[in-house]
Every structure is written in C-alpha cells, then in structure tokens.
Amino acid sequence: MSSAGVYGVMAEFDSPTSLVNAARAAHEKGFRKLDAYTPFPIEELSEVLHLHKNKLPLIVLCGGILGGLTGYLLQYFVTVIYFPINIGGRPLHSWPSYIIITFELTILFGCLSAVLGMLALCGLPMPYHPTFNVPRFALASRDRFFLCIEATDPMFDLEGTAGFLETLEPKEVSEVAN
C-alpha cells in the first residue's frame, strides 16, 4: 500500500469517552495533524486536541468597534455637516441621542463578523471534503465518533498509522481517499 492519493486514516468509535481517550493517545504518541468528528461539541476533546484558542473574539471585537464608529460617525456627519437642522438652538452635535443607533450598529456589525468570521475560520462553505468519501462517515452527524490522522502528519505511514489506530479499540478503521 502506498500513501499516495490518501487523505488519512480514520477510526470509528461509539462513545465520546472512547473517542477522547483515543485522541489523547494519538496526541501523546506524537501525531499532530489529526482531527475528530462528532455529532455534538465535546469540551474534553478540545482540551485533548489543544483547540482552545481561536481568533474569533478578536474578529468580533474589531467588527463591533467598526460598527460603533460607523454608527457614531454616520450620525455626526448627517446631523452636523451634511444636513444640519437648528431646532430651538440646540447643539447640532447632540451626542446623547446618538447612543442608540451607535449601540445597534455595534451589535449588528459584531454579530455579522461573528457569523462570517466563524465560517471563514472553519473554511466553510466547503462542498467537498475527503472525509465524505468514507461511507460510514454519514453517521458522524448521528451517533458515531471519528478520529482521523491525516497523511500530512510527518509520522504518518499508511500501515503503521492504521495499525496504531487498531490498538485503540475502535469499531472500524478505514482509509480516507483523497
């Protein structure tokens, strides 16, 4: 068997506990290019795979600040520069009445950047992915838990990695075609 045209090797488990144990074992063995596929989020898995940091909060912060600035400056521009209306001599730069729209646009831009940022960081939409080539992978959205060691890992060799996964007591080990 050769590794050419192979995305990785995938093992199937039937409980979150056995998947977390397997992922921990694989990580301790030295594998780094690995991913797990589960029907719901498992907190322990993120710990084992060291996935706790992502850039999303920063993206949302930037989006929110941009939204707030947009809201405030839009109102400032319109009420002070572009279309000033003098009502009873009140100041044109009436900042207390700007608060609400500034707030709303902060939230709007923040939420938009949260969703778009999430999709961008996940690389979605992605219509094709090699894992979908495994017939039993459809169960990853139902009741099965998968661990995939990818061929790009420096320690990867098809037979050795498959043999290692077999030692973790999976239901099944399968090769993922690219």
Q: Which is nearer to another protein, 107 or 158 (CB)?
A: 107
CB of 158 to another protein, least distance (A): 22
What angle in degrees, to the nearest 10, is found between the helix axes of 99-122 and 56-76? Answer: 150
Shortest Å distance, C-beta 114 to another protein? 5
Nearer to another protein by C-beta: 24 or 162?
A: 24
Under 8 Å between Cβ of 153 and 34: yes
Shortest distance (Å) from residue 70 CB to another protein: 11
Count of H-run helices and E-run strands, the chain: 5, 4
Shortest Cβ 128–another protein spacing (Å): 7
Q: What is the nearest approach in angstroms of another protein to the Cβ of residue 2?
A: 26
Q: Which is nearer to another protein, 127 or 154 (CB)?
A: 127
Nearest CB to another protein, comparing residues 1 and 52: 52
Distance, CA of 72 to CA of 86 (rounded, Å): 19
Rounded to the nearest whole angstrom, what is the least distance from the CB of residue 6 to another protein in the complex?
A: 18
Question: Closest CB to another protein among 1 and 135?
Answer: 135
Binding site for another protein (CB under 8 A): 15-17, 20-21, 23, 35-42, 44-46, 49, 51-52, 54, 56-57, 60, 64, 74-75, 78-79, 82-83, 85, 87, 94, 97-98, 100-101, 103-105, 107-108, 110-112, 114-115, 117-119, 121-122, 124-129, 131-132, 137-143
Nearer to another protein, 54 or 160 (CB): 54
* Residues 164/12, Cβ–Cβ less than 8 Å: no
